[in-house]
Chains A and B, each alone.
Chain A
């Protein structure tokens, strides 16, 4: 069965520090998709990135970067030079592609990041 684990429940960093949010996933499918979402205090879910299982290239978008390693089933998210606006709950999620044809997202329990000015 599929599973997403975000072992870090809460993280606090001082502004301008770098921070890495960990995500470990489990799936039996060979085709799957991994996502990161941000949930700011206002409550909406903001899409950050999608990565498919055949693309292990790391990605950088401004201060955000993602490290996808199939060998360790991890999809970690790093924020460089953190800012107060980065304070939010971050969710990692998995969608499986081989079975059933459905498009269900399975979420981790989230990591609450607090950036202290």
Chain B
């Protein structure tokens, strides 16, 4: 029973590099989302998806792309990393569209130098 799996756990990027943060869940949840956590700012929503083939922007989407080709996977892409994207990233999934319980991954700590 893996829940939500995020990889990698740690990553250092140089400015301008691209990378994909992986998120996979094995609970058949329709809803998945990405958050970033910065000191003093809580968790802020980047992108979310209510099902395969459907994605939408959250509060802070600039600089990030997502896709949802399967129910299980929801990768987050940084096309050209910037120091402002240094953060801890959390992926979450939920068993219902509204008000459902959320399962969070263990996070990815990203540093952009």
A91 CA / B59 CA spacing, docked (Å): 18
Question: B59 → chain A, closest Cβ, in Å?
Answer: 8
Question: A70 → chain B, closest Cβ, in Å?
Answer: 16
Question: A5 → chain B, closest Cβ, in Å?
Answer: 10
CB contacts under 8 Å to B, within A33-71, are 33, 35, 43-45, 47, 50, 52
- Contact residue among B42, B48, B101 (Cβ-Cβ distance under 8 Å from A104): B48
Contacting pair A104 B107 (CB below 8 A) = no
Question: Which residues on B sit within 8 Å (CB–CB) of A101?
Answer: 50, 97-98
Contacting pair B101 A50 (CB below 8 A) = yes
The B contact surface, by secondary structure, is: strand
Contacting pair A108 B97 (CB below 8 A) = no
CB contacts under 8 Å to B, within A67-117, are 91, 93, 95, 97, 101-110
Question: Which residues on B sit within 8 Å (CB–CB) of A44?
Answer: 104, 106-107
Contacting pair A109 B50 (CB below 8 A) = no
Question: Which residues on A sit within 8 Å (CB–CB) of B40?
Answer: 9, 109
Cβ-based interface call for B53 (8 A): no
A35 CA / B56 CA spacing, docked (Å): 23
Cβ-based interface call for B31 (8 A): yes
List, sorted by A's number, 17 A–B pairs whose CB atoms are closer than 8 Å: A33-B98, A33-B99, A44-B104, A45-B104, A47-B101, A47-B102, A102-B56, A102-B97, A103-B31, A103-B98, A105-B35, A105-B43, A105-B102, A106-B45, A107-B35, A107-B42, A109-B41
